[in-house]
Chain A
C-alpha cells in the first residue's frame, strides 16, 4: 500500500513546484536537478540552494549530460550530507549510486531520491545545437501512450528497469493520459510521506491501478532488449568480431571516464599502458611482425568488462561520448547482463546486497571446477 500525491502542474513545472516547496519550507537543504545554465544554453546537473534558481530547472529534460550517480558520488564521497538533500535522478542513475555506495565511493545518508518512470533520454549531443522542443512534444505524447519515443539512446530502447527501485519518490509518468495537466508522485518511503505532509501539496491518497500504458511500455522494452541483444553477435572462438568492433577505438577512455562505475582515480589500464616499455612492442614485433601504437586498445575494453561489467547499470553514458560511434553501452549491457545472470545479481537493486565477486556461497558454480 503506497500513497500518492497529485500536483496540479504537469511535468517539469510539477517537479519544480515540488522541489521549490521542499526548499522553501526547509524540508531539504538543497536539491540536485538538471538545470539550464545562464550562459551558453547548456544543461547540467546543478546543486541548487536558492529556490529562485529553480526557475531554470528542467528535471525531466530527456538528456543526461553526466551520470547523476557519479555526480552524487562526487558530492558525498568524503562525507555524507548532514542535512536532507533531494536529488532528481533517473532510475539507472539511482542504481549506479547504489553500486558506488557498495564500493565506498558515496554516502546515501540524508539523500532523498526522486526518480521518474523513465521514458528514456536523447543522446547527449542534443544538449547543444538543435533545440529539442519539437521532439519533446512527441516524446511526452509517446510516454502518455506507453510507447517508446523516437531518437532515444539505443540502450534506453532495451531498458527493462525503467521503473525506479529503492527511491523515496517515484514520478509516475508512463501511460498517463493526464500527463499534460498534473504530476502524480508516489511516496515510496515513510520519510517521503513525512516530508510531503507539511508541504501543502494536497493530501496523500491511496495509489491507483497501474495504467495500461505502463504494461505496454514494459513489453516494448522487453522486445527492445531482445532486439539489442540479437543485433550484436560476437560468437566465435577467436574474438574476431569483438576486436573488429573496437578496431577504430582511439583509446581516449572517455567511455570509462563518464562511466559511474569506473570511479578509480588512476585506472589500472592507463597506469599499465604508461608503464609499458620497449620490451612490450619488441615482443609483439617479433611475434606478429607489427603492433598497434599505443598498444592495448582491445585489452582495455576486455579488462574494463572484467572489472566492472558486473555492476554496469546500462545507462548509456559511455556510448554517448564515444567519438567514433562504437556501440559501447550496448556491448557492456549485453556482456554485463550475462555476467550478472550467473550470480542472479541486479546492480543497484539493493544497497545491502554484496557485489557478487566480494562474496560467495560454498556450494555453487561447480561447472567451472573442471
Chain B
C-alpha cells in the first residue's frame, strides 16, 4: 500500500447504488478541475455491451457504468491507446477494475503508458460475467451481475474471478470500497499523493475508519485464496506433462486471439506471428516426416509456451485471454497458475507499484543458487 494511506476514507452517500454515486463523484471531480477528462466504461448505443469511453462532456456520464458487468476491452489497452505517445498534459481520471489497473502499472514499466497525469480509480470487484455468455444473452448477464453485486456471491462470475485474491486491492490512487460497507454508502479510500490531492479537490476529508471494509475484504480474499489453491491444485494435475498440457490446449485453433487481447502482450509485431516462424514448403515437409504428420498452422505449443515465457511474470490474471478464446480453452486459468508460481519465486506482484522493477530486468548478487549447477 502506498504512502498516504492512513486508515481513513470518506463515507459517501449512495442512495441510488454505487454506480450512481461514482458517476456523481466523477462529475464533481470534473467540475472542480480534479481532472480534464474521464475514462470510464459506458453502455454502447445498442445496449448490449460496455466500452471504455474518454469523456469530456459530463452530460454523457449518465450512460457511464463504472462497475460494468463484463470485461470487454481490457482497460489497460484503453489507457495505452490514449497515452502511449504521451498525453500532452491532459489529466485523466481512469475508472477500472483492480486487474485492469495492475496491467496499467505493468505497462508503465514497459513504457507503454504515461501515468503522469492519470488518476486511477478502482473499486471492489464482484467479478465479471463471461464475455461470451454476456454476448449471447445480455439481459441475463445483467441480471446475474446485479445479483453478484448485491450478494457478493461470485459463483456465476468467470472462473478466474472466483480465484482472484486481488479483486479488492486498492492498487490505484483512489479506491471505492463496497464490501462490508453499510448499504446505501460507498467508502472512498485515497492512496498516495495523487489520491489525497483528488480528495482535496473534491472538497472531502478522509475521516471514516476503513477497518470494517478491510476486515470484510480480508475475509473474502482469504476465501478466494482457498478457492484458488484448490483450483490450481486441480489444474496443476491436469496440466502436468506434455500430454496433459496438450489435452488442456486440445481445442486451440492457434488463432492467437488470447495474445491480441492480453494487455501485457503489447508488441505491435508478435514474434509468434512473425515471418521468423514461417518455413518453406520443403521445411514443412521435412517436419511432417519426423512424426508422419504436422499440425497446421504449426507451432501451437511453441506459441503458448513462448508467450508464457515472455510475459507471465507480468500476467495480472485478468482473464481477457480466456474471454476472447473462440474455442473455450481455459487459457487464463493456465496462465494464472504459472504466473502465480513464477511470481511467488521472485516475490513479485505485477501492478503492486510502478517503482518496483520487473524481476527479469534486475537481480541480486546472492540469489537462486539452486539453479546454478
Contact = CB atoms under 8 A, between A and B. Distances in A.
Contacts of B132: 323-325
A74 interface: yes
Interface string B33-53: 000010100001110110111
Given A254-B324, A290-B60, A71 B296 contact: yes
Interface residues of B, number: 80
A46 B79 CA distance: 40
Interface string B260-282: 11000000110001110011111
Interface string A290-302: 1111110000000
B249 interface: yes
B162 interface: no
A29 to B, nearest CB: 7
Interface stretch (B84-92, B192-200, B207-215, B352-360): B84-92
B38 to A, nearest CB: 9
A172 B243 CA distance: 38
Given A288-B57, A292-B52, 11 more contacts: A35-B293, A44-B296, A45-B295, A66-B297, A78-B281, A129-B328, A257-B255, A277-B85, A278-B87, A292-B54, A323-B131
Contacts of A322: 326
Contact of A39 (B39, B55, B250): B250
Interface size class of A (residues with CB under 8 A): 35 or more
Interface string B48-68: 110111111101100000000
Contacts of A41: 247, 250-251
A294 B260 CA distance: 13
Nearest to B244: A39
Contact of A295 (B81, B250, B324): B81
B323 A290 contact: no
Nearest to A322: B326
17 contacts: A45-B295, A47-B293, A50-B291, A53-B293, A74-B297, A79-B282, A82-B282, A107-B281, A125-B326, A127-B253, A254-B257, A258-B253, A273-B81, A277-B86, A278-B83, A282-B88, A323-B135
A322 B325 CA distance: 9
Contacts of B273: 265
Contacts of A70: 297
Interface in B318-336: 323-329
A53 to B, nearest CB: 4
B285 interface: yes
Given A66-B254, A252-B260, A293-B53, A49 B282 contact: no
A80 B53 contact: no
Interface in A116-152: 124-125, 127-129
B20 interface: no
Given A30-B288, A81-B281, A325 B296 contact: no
B73 interface: yes
Nearest to B324: A323
Contacts of B323: 323
B296 A46 contact: yes
B54 A124 contact: no
Interface in A29-52: 29-30, 32, 35, 37-42, 44-50, 52
Contact of A48 (B46, B77, B292): B292
Contacts of A80: 281
Given A39-B243, A257-B257, A320-B326, A49 B289 contact: yes
A247 interface: yes
A247 B279 CA distance: 38
Contact of B285 (A30, A247, A289): A30
A305 B155 CA distance: 41
Contacts of B328: 125, 128-129
B281 A75 contact: yes
A282 B55 contact: no
Interface string A60-71: 000001100011
B296 A248 contact: no
A276 interface: yes
A76 interface: yes
A37 B291 CA distance: 12
A323 B296 contact: no
Nearest to B246: A39
A278 B88 contact: yes
A48 B285 CA distance: 9
A254 B255 contact: yes
B37 A285 contact: yes
Given A50-B293, A79-B282, A248-B49, A285 B56 contact: yes
Contact of B251 (A40, A85, A288): A40
A15 to B, nearest CB: 16
A274 interface: yes
B284 to A, nearest CB: 5
Contact of B53 (A35, A48, A65, A291): A291
A42 B250 contact: yes
B44 A257 contact: no
Interface in A88-107: 107
Contact of B326 (A79, A107, A254): A254
